[in-house]
């Protein structure tokens, strides 16, 4: 089953009525409905739904981003992790046989390191390690038993080109966000304080926010000269 929106293209617009399953070569998976909402907001156009294979239980939003036709799906409620993402991806290929590029896009946490990653920034994966595949050694040390998985060659070359563009100041993320807000007026910048606490600080387990946390444990960071999101490149660590 596929969903539609107010940007639905009719049969008279750009020959959308002639689109078929084989026209979709990119698959997009979100883990949470909130992530799916953000994904749908960046579609340039939303397409008419298409019939699905009886063996495909996903719900889709079909659309285009630039020259790419994309089939978007969200994980079932309460079912997360790499195994469920693989199930959704496999089901997608039963209806869209020509899907060549698959992306999992969503919200992530960070591991303390030298990179100054802040709320709203974007991280592009250059390799992947499943963090829950580790072995506990007798001295309580952890040994990784999963090996890095590299994205497809086409993704890595695209990431290199994207990184070069960002290094030269060609970042269109803010413009895309501003344009998306015109369609989703009830979503706006939350104006959250980007507070980072020391990595060894234990937050109160019952606290719903950091308002009552020890402010002396805050990490002092420089003020950025721009509010535009920064793009980082590195290892992504998914898990179940």
Domain that holds residue 47: 1-107
User: Rounded to 5 degrees, what angle do the CA atoms 96, 77, 120 make?
Assistant: 85
Mean of pLDDT values over 94-123: 87
- Residue 192: per-residue pLDDT: 58
> Does residue 71 contact residue 28 with C-beta atoms inside 8 Å?
yes
Model confidence at 164: pLDDT above 70: yes
Determine, yes or no, domain membership for 113.
no
Determine, yes or no, domain membership for 21.
yes
Entry pTM: 0.78
Model confidence at 176: pLDDT above 50: yes
- Residue 47: per-residue pLDDT: 95
Determine, yes or no, domain membership for 203.
no
What tens digit of pLDDT does each residue of 56-66 get? 999 999 999 98
Determine, yes or no, domain membership for 183.
no
Number of domains in the chain: 1
What tens digit of pLDDT does each residue of 186-219 get? 766 665 567 888 888 988 888 788 888 999 999 8
- Residue 75: per-residue pLDDT: 95
Determine, yes or no, domain membership for 157.
no
Determine, yes or no, domain membership for 32.
yes
Determine, yes or no, domain membership for 221.
no
Determine, yes or no, domain membership for 206.
no
- Residue 51: per-residue pLDDT: 95
């Amino acid at each position: 089953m596929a969903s539609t929106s107010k940007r639905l293209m009719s049969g008279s617009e750009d020959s959308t009525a002639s689109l078929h399953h084989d026209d979709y070569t990119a698959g997009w998976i979100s883990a949470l409905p909130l992530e799916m909402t953000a994904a749908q907001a960046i579609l340039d156009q939303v397409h008419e739904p298409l019939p699905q294979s009886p063996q495909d239980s996903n719900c889709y939003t079909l659309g285009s981003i630039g020259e790419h036709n994309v089939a978007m799906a969200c994980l079932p409620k309460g079912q997360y992790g790499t195994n469920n993402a693989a199930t959704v991806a496999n089901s997608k290929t039963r209806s869209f046989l020509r899907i060549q590029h698959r992306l999992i896009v969503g919200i992530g946490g960070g591991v303390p390191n030298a990179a100054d990653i802040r709320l709203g920034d974007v991280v592009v994966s250059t390799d992947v390690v499943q963090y829950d595949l580790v072995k506990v050694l007798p001295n309580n040390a952890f040994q990784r038993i999963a090996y890095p998985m590299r994205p497809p060659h086409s993704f890595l070359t695209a990431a290199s080109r994207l990184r070069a563009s960002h290094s030269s100041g060609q970042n269109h993320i803010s413009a895309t966000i501003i344009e998306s807000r015109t369609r989703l007026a009830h979503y706006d910048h939350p104006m959250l304080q980007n507070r980072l606490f020391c990595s060894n600080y234990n937050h109160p387990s019952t606290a719903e926010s950091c308002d009552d946390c020890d402010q002396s444990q805050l990490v002092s960071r420089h003020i950025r000269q721009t509010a535009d999101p920064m793009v980082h490149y590195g290892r992504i660590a998914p898990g179940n």
